[in-house]
């Protein structure tokens, strides 16, 4: 019996040991598969995070280039080779981009390949850089935009080169670039990804023969943002992803070849992501499973076998869930739970979307500033839920793109007119909603840019984004992408307004309104500024903002100037008041306008009650002609004011070269003077300098008692604005 019992016990022990061995083998094998799968997932995360970081950096460079090249002053200065003016106009754009972390360098390169202006090194120019920068030579040859990694004299950078044209005349190139450090910073900010750069060892030794670098195969480390890269094993050859453990930390390390615009090898970027938490979680799970399984195996081998099998299945299930969670984080927006931009980019070909609708919340930044980011996030979530409800009946999939922008992908083909009605219907339904958030009722308006594709291949997202930007620029709710969209709409709009202005001139439908300019101390009216208005067919008044620019483009502007001058001289004869009128540089340079003014001054003897306001923001460049005009009208007692001082080309050098009497400080500085210390300092400087030159100052746009009191405190001489008086048809 004892022998039988012993044999049975031994057999039971052997059976239990075999079951334990089988379980341990399966557990370790399953763990290896999980680790391999997670390694691949993290490697993909590294790869896609780098792409996102590059795309985000490219977006910032494109935004900066777009802002600069749509500034007419900048293009004009580049065309005229006015380096100082170009520097003055372009530098605020670079400073703003630097503050946003979007760019590090801006430069202008002439059509001859020579550096015309480096904003960060403006005293160095004239060197031809096409030999050392083939990318510049290529851009000059193609005259088309190029964006690529490149080696500049300052760093390895992501460079965006854009040709500059004016009236089909090629002026040269605009170069905007961001150091590769920006991409590395974004990798770290997005997903805690550390990174380093590795350069070809042979090429590096030729450049720096006496310097030692950490080597990995054929490459040497030249920069890094974490000591981890100095501790990697020497055998790491950058070709395959590496799972590296050191000091209780585990990282997935992978390298990617970075190429230039012509696909030539530039540098390798090594990225590392910390997966230590995943490692700890796996070890903890496995320890628990082994302990429980061992206790159960001692009780009954058969039950243990079934239990082991169930536990193995459970491990596999948990691993699958964990991988799904990682994929969810990669493709989902954490705030709304919606699929993100990366998900849309992958879904676009897979789901064969035929149209994209982009929605952007109007003035969301102001909402964030007013209510705070916590309320702002709740607004974003509420809008996302509203869009889902409104679009539930349509074959549309909703995505959260970034910040305050959403996208809808249309998966079923519909006629173009039905598509337009659907987009406008969605907007209408959303605009009828009100959101109650923590006791605050918020109205949200949105702009929509859409594109529907009837071709084999379309850049749906890019074209919808262009339509959305057009909607934002023009203050429209819905814009559908069309080829030559901007040209046709602007052309039709200009034709309509040109006819309206010409009819008003022919039918003498213009009038003047007069706004009082008051002494600051006594609030008594010192003079009246004459402001032109156009009378519409229905009798309503149209402000000059709506028609003056188009009048200038269509050469109807001199007729309006003629009316203003004739009318103001009639007022000077009828009333004892002083009046001021605005003259543009074009008015002053127009010979017929000059002769009319001189003739009226000779015949009327009212020049001592007339003030000419010259618009300084247009740029006073023809000093001799302007000075001659000022001298001529001053002989009749007229006085001169510089209007809109403080913006544009504002420069005290203009004032010192011209014999002026007043400086009118621009509204953009005055309207925030009661709350903005920066505006206060600028206005105080303008007032102090003006008084030293024996000039008097006028503050425009004084709309409240607080603004009036602040202007009075800094010493402004005269006040103009709705707080004291509005423009009236008679005085």
| Model pTM above 0.75 | no
Please report the pLDDT score of residue 306 as a whole number: 60
Please report the pLDDT score of residue 9 as a whole number: 62
Q: Could you say which of 3.40.50.720, 3.90.1510.10, 2.60.120.1090, 3.30.70.270 is the CATH number of the domain covering 341-482?
A: 3.30.70.270
On the question of pLDDT at 630 being above 50, the answer is: yes
Mean pLDDT of 388-415: 92
Distance, CA of 458 to CA of 452 (rounded, Å): 9
Distance, CA of 144 to CA of 497 (rounded, Å): 34
Helix H segments across 70-198? 72-79, 83-100, 134-142, 180-191
Mean pLDDT of 583-600: 91
For residue 112, give the nearest of 174, 173, 65, 154 by alpha carbon.
173
Instruction: Give the 3-state secondary structure of 5-67.
Output: HHHHHHHHHHHHHHHHHHHHHHHHHHHHHHHHHHHHHHHHHHHHHHHHHHHHHHHHHHHHHHH
Higher confidence at residue 43 or residue 354?
Answer: 354
Cross-strand partners of 161: 146, 175
**Among 309-323, 435-449, 500-514, 591-605, which stretch is predicted with the lowest mean pLDDT?**
309-323
With H, G, I as helix, E, B as strand and everything else as coil, classify residue 149: strand
Mean pLDDT of 315-326: 65
On the question of pLDDT at 494 being above 70, the answer is: no
pLDDT band at 663 (very low <50, low <70, confident <90, very high): very high
For residue 373, give the nearest of 398, 346, 348, 404 by alpha carbon.
404
**Sheet (strand 194-200) strand order:** 215-216, 219-224, 194-200, 265-274, 249-259, 242-246
Distances (CA, A) of 223 to 58, 228, 249, 648: 22, 12, 22, 42
- Asked whether the CA dihedral 199, 205, 211, 217 is positive or negative, the reply is positive
Please report the pLDDT score of residue 548 as a whole number: 85
End-to-end Cα separation, the chain, in angstroms: 129
Distances (CA, A) of 696 to 605, 639, 640, 718: 24, 11, 11, 8
- Residue 567: exposure state from Cβ atoms within 10 A (0-12, 13-18, ≥19): middle
Distance, CA of 190 to CA of 373 (rounded, Å): 19
pLDDT band at 592 (very low <50, low <70, confident <90, very high): very high
Sort strands 525-535 and 579-583 into parallel, antiparallel or unpaired.
parallel
pLDDT band at 191 (very low <50, low <70, confident <90, very high): low
Distance, CA of 501 to CA of 643 (rounded, Å): 25
Instruction: Find how far residue 361's CA is from the centre of its chain.
Output: 15
Tokens of 128: 């031809």
Distance, CA of 579 to CA of 609 (rounded, Å): 6
**Among 53-57, 114-118, 509-513, which stretch is predicted with the lowest mean pLDDT?**
53-57
Please report the pLDDT score of residue 533 as a whole number: 94
Distance, CA of 454 to CA of 345 (rounded, Å): 19
For residue 86, give the nearest of 112, 125, 57, 144 by alpha carbon.
125
Please report the pLDDT score of residue 129 as a whole number: 81
Mean pLDDT of 634-646: 90
Q: Which long-range contacts (CB under 8 A, 24 or more apart) does 680-686 make?
A: 680/710, 680/714, 682/646, 683/646, 683/711, 683/714, 683/716, 684/714, 684/715, 686/645, 686/646
Per-residue pLDDT reduced to its tens digit, 103-143 = 989 999 999 989 999 998 898 888 888 888 888 989 999 99
Distance, CA of 408 to CA of 712 (rounded, Å): 53
Instruction: Find how far residue 705's CA is from the centre of its chain.
Output: 35
Please report the pLDDT score of residue 366 as a whole number: 74
Distances (CA, A) of 146 to 62, 68, 149, 174, 371: 11, 17, 10, 11, 41
Distance, CA of 195 to CA of 183 (rounded, Å): 9
Torsion of CA 499, 503, 508, 513, to 10 degrees: -40
Q: Which long-range contacts (CB under 8 A, 24 or more apart) does 56-60 make?
A: 56/186, 57/102, 57/158, 57/178, 57/182, 57/183, 57/186, 58/147, 58/158, 58/160, 60/97, 60/100, 60/101, 60/102, 60/103, 60/178
Neighbours of 466 (CB within 10 A): 19
Neighbours of 678 (CB within 10 A): 10
Distance, CA of 373 to CA of 353 (rounded, Å): 33
Sort strands 718-720 and 510-519 into parallel, antiparallel or unpaired.
antiparallel
Distance, CA of 440 to CA of 448 (rounded, Å): 25
pLDDT band at 488 (very low <50, low <70, confident <90, very high): very low
Mean pLDDT of 315-334: 72
For residue 308, give the nearest of 11, 10, 38, 15 by alpha carbon.
15
Please report the pLDDT score of residue 193 as a whole number: 84
527 backbone dihedrals φ, ψ, rounded to 5°: -160, 175
Helix H segments across 432-484? 460-474
Q: Which residues of 387-420 are buried (b: 16+ CB within 10 A; e: fewer)?
A: beebbeebebbbbbbeebbbbbbbeeebeeeebe
Distance, CA of 201 to CA of 203 (rounded, Å): 6
Q: Could you say which of 3.20.20.20, 2.40.50.100, 1.20.120.1200, 3.30.450.20 is the CATH number of the domain covering 71-182?
A: 3.30.450.20
Q: Which runs of E-coded beta strand occur in 584-648?
A: 610-615, 639-645
pLDDT band at 35 (very low <50, low <70, confident <90, very high): low
Please report the pLDDT score of residue 487 as a whole number: 43
Distance, CA of 340 to CA of 14 (rounded, Å): 55
Domain ranges within the chain, ordered by starting residue: 2-55+278-331, 71-182, 193-274, 341-482, 494-720
On the question of pLDDT at 642 being above 60, the answer is: yes
**Sheet (strand 478-480) strand order:** 396-402, 405-410, 355-361, 446-452, 478-480
Higher confidence at residue 718 or residue 473?
Answer: 718
Distance, CA of 633 to CA of 648 (rounded, Å): 26
Mean pLDDT of 564-580: 95
Output the average pLDDT for the chain.
83
- Domain 494-720 class, CATH top level: alpha beta
Percentage of the chain exceeding pLDDT 90: 39
* Residue whose token pair is 């006629």: 415
Distance, CA of 401 to CA of 394 (rounded, Å): 20
Distance, CA of 566 to CA of 545 (rounded, Å): 21
Report helix, strand and coil shares of the chain as percent, to nearest 5.
50, 25, 25
Cross-strand partners of 613: 582, 641
On the question of pLDDT at 563 being above 90, the answer is: yes
Distance, CA of 463 to CA of 45 (rounded, Å): 28
Distance, CA of 573 to CA of 676 (rounded, Å): 43
């Amino acid at each position: 019996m004892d022998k039988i019992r012993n044999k049975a016990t031994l057999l039971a022990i052997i059976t239990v040991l075999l079951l334990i061995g089988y379980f341990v083998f399966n557990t370790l094998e399953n763990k290896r598969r999980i680790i391999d799968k997670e390694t691949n997932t993290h490697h993909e995360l590294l790869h896609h995070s780098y792409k996102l970081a590059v795309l985000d950096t490219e977006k910032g460079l494109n935004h900066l280039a777009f802002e600069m090249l749509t500034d007419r002053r900048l293009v004009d200065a580049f065309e005229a080779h006015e380096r100082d003016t170009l520097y003055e106009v372009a530098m605020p754009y670079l400073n703003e981009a630097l503050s946003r972390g979007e760019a590090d360098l801006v430069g202008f390169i002439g059509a001859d390949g020579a550096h015309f202006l480096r904003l960060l090194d403006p005293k160095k120019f004239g060197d031809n850089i096409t030999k050392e920068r083939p990318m510049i030579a290529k851009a000059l040859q193609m005259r088309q935009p190029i964006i690529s990694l490149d080696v500049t004299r300052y760093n390895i950078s992501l460079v965006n080169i854009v040709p500059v044209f004016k009236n089909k005349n090629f002026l040269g190139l605009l170069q905007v670039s961001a150091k590769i450090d920006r991409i590395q910073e974004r990798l770290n900010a997005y997903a805690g990804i550390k990174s380093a750069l590795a350069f070809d060892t042979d090429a590096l030794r030729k450049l720096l023969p006496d310097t030692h670098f950490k080597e990995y195969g054929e490459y040497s480390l030249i920069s890094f943002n974490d000591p981890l890269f100095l501790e990697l094993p020497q055998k790491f050859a950058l070709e395959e992803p590496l799972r590296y453990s050191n000091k209780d930390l585990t990282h997935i390390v992978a390298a990617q070849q970075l190429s230039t615009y012509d696909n030539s090898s530039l540098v390798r970027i090594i990225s590392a992501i910390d997966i230590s938490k995943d490692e700890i979680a796996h070890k903890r799970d496995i320890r628990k499973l082994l302990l429980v399984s061992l206790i159960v195996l001692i009780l009954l081998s058969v039950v243990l076998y079934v239990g082991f099998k169930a536990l193995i299945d459970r491990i596999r299930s948990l691993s699958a869930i964990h991988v799904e969670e990682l994929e969810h984080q990669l493709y989902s927006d954490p705030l709304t739970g919606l699929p993100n931009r990366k998900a849309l980019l992958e879904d676009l070909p897979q789901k064969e979307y035929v149209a994209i609708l982009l929605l952007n919340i109007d003035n969301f930044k102001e909402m964030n500033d007013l209510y705070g980011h916590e309320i702002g996030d709740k607004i974003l979530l509420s809008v996302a839920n509203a869009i889902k409800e409104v679009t539930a009946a349509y074959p549309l999939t909703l995505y959260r793109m970034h910040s305050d922008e959403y996208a809808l992908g249309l998966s079923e083909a519909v006629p173009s007119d039905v598509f337009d009605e659907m987009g406008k219907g969605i907007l209408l339904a959303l605009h009828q909603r009100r959101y109650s958030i923590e006791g605050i009722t918020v109205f949200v308006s949105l702009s929509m840019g859409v594109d529907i594709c009837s071709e084999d291949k379309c850049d749906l997202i890019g074209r919808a984004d262009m339509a959305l930007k057009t909607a934002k620029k023009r203050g429209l709710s819905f814009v559908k992408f069309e080829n030559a969209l901007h040209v046709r709409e602007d052309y039709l709009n200009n034709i309509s307004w040109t006819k309206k202005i010409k009819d008003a001139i022919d039918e003498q439908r213009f009038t003047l309104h007069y706004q009082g300019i008051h002494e600051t101390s006594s609030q008594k009216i010192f003079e009246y500024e004459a402001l032109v208005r156009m009378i519409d067919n229905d009798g309503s008044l149209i402000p000059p903002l709506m028609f003056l620019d188009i009048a200038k483009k269509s050469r109807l502007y001199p007729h309006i100037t003629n009316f203003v001058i004739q009318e103001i001289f009639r007022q000077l004869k009828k009333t004892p008041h002083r009046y001021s009128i605005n003259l543009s540089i074009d008015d002053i340079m127009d010979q017929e306008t000059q002769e009319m003014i001189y003739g009226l001054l000779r015949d009327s003897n009212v020049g001592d009650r007339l003030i000419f306001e010259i618009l300084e923001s247009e740029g006073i460049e023809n000093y001799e002609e302007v000075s001659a005009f000022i001298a001529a009208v001053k002989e009749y007692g007229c006085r001169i004011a510089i209007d809109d001082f403080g913006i544009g080309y504002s420069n005290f050098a203009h004032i010192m070269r011209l014999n002026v009497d007043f400086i009118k400080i621009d509204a953009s500085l005055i309207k925030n003077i009661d709350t903005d210390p920066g505006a206060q300092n600028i206005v105080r400087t303008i007032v102090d300098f003006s008084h030293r030159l024996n000039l008097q100052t006028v503050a425009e746009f004084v709309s409240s008692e607080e603004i009036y009191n602040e202007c009075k405190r800094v010493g402004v001489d005269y006040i103009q604005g709705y707080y004291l008086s509005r423009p009236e048809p008679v005085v």
